[in-house]
Amino acid sequence: MPRLGIGWAALLATPLAGHWMSMSTGELRVRGERVEYALRVPLYEITHLEAPEKLLLENFRLFDGRSQARLVKHLCESRADQQAYLCRAEYQFPAAVENLVVECTFAAALVPHHVHLLRAEREHLADQAVFDLSFTRLPLRFAPPGRAARALSQMGTGALRAVAGPAQLLFLLALAMAARRRRELYALAASFLAAECASAAALAGIDWTPAPRFVEAAAALTVAYLAVEILLLPEAGHRWAVAGALGVFHGFYFGVFLRESQMSWLPVMAGILVAELALLSLFAALLGWLLRVASRLRPIQAGAGALLAAGVAWFLLRLRN
């Protein structure tokens, strides 16, 4: 493979390191100087950890000004019936909590694209926070925000979720590569985004969580199929239908996120759509530039070959894990 193909392969192989749907949830209640915390982590997230109880609680800390809360008691257990690892912990501050700051570094302990959704309550006021590798320390304000401020905050959260994981970037890059002309890019984007929104809305409204192994294996096969079309069927029609299939599986992640976070569908999906359209435009522009300056290296074909290799390897890895 030429150097350009090797570069594509290195880029596209990044989603293989961890599960695409890597998410945990927590509930926190402030009662004067005490804080109660309940954590739920899917069992598949901790299979590689030797001491999950110790590691998880070490990566969750509470502060009030310069004071750090002391962990006074905790209980963790694996629940096979819920396919989850559950922890309950109680923290003690020297005095009643005034300005609570949460530091959560689960992404460093689990996988880099892990997301922790935290809901908190104090004296009938609620707040929520989303932690990942980029946002590890956030304040909880417990003040009812205005409707506009809440919508903007949720739009920002949606936009960050759209670009935070390597799988999302891989799918959008695949769409940009599959478009043979500008009009087709518009059709692919419309089909993908419509299917993604419908899938997310449907999953957010029902009590069913697809097995991450199934979702990732199916998504990997769809990526591989799209790469085959680019390589072996360059004139194939109805590529928009393949984009729609990608969107269905891609929407599963956002549906689970919407349900667990209890955020509003419209602002979150609006943020996701804006971010994904911006990334599609960026990828299309970069591919157009590559075709102009390095057409002899056949960047689309080299990229599709790396895409096929990554999709097949990802599929096989998920079958084994």
Backbone φ/ψ region at 262: left (φ over 0), alpha (ψ -120 to 50), beta? left
Provide the pLDDT for residue 19: 53
Q: What are phi and psi of 153, to 5 degrees?
A: -65, -40
Within 10 A of 106 (CB to CB), how many other CB atoms are there? Answer: 25
pTM comes to 0.80
Q: What is the pLDDT of residues 108-157, one digit of tens each?
A: 988 888 899 999 999 888 899 999 998 999 999 887 767 888 899 899 99
Residue at 29: amino acid letter: R
Per-residue pLDDT tens over the stretch 221-248:
877 888 888 888 888 778 888 889 888 9
Q: Going by C-beta distance under 8 Å and a sequence separation of 6 or more, which residues neighbour residue 128? A: 117, 118, 119, 120, 261, 262, 263
As a whole number, mean pLDDT of residues 266-277 equals 96
Q: Virtual CA dihedral for 212, 114, 191, 318, nearest 10 degrees?
A: -30
CA distances from 211 to 144, 202, 277 (A): 35, 16, 28
CA distance between the termini of the chain: 29
What single letter denotes the amino acid at residue 11? Answer: L
Enclosing H/E stretch for 41: strand 34-42
How many contiguous H segments (helices) and E segments (strands) does the chain have?
10, 10
Q: Rounded distance, CA 316 to CA 271, Å?
A: 33
Q: What is the pLDDT of residue 33?
A: 95
Q: Considering Cα of 222, then 224, then 230, then 232, what sign does the dihedral take?
A: negative
What tens digit of pLDDT does each residue of 150-188 get?
A: 899 899 999 998 887 767 787 788 889 989 889 999 999
Sort residue 172 into left (φ over 0), alpha (ψ -120 to 50) or beta: alpha
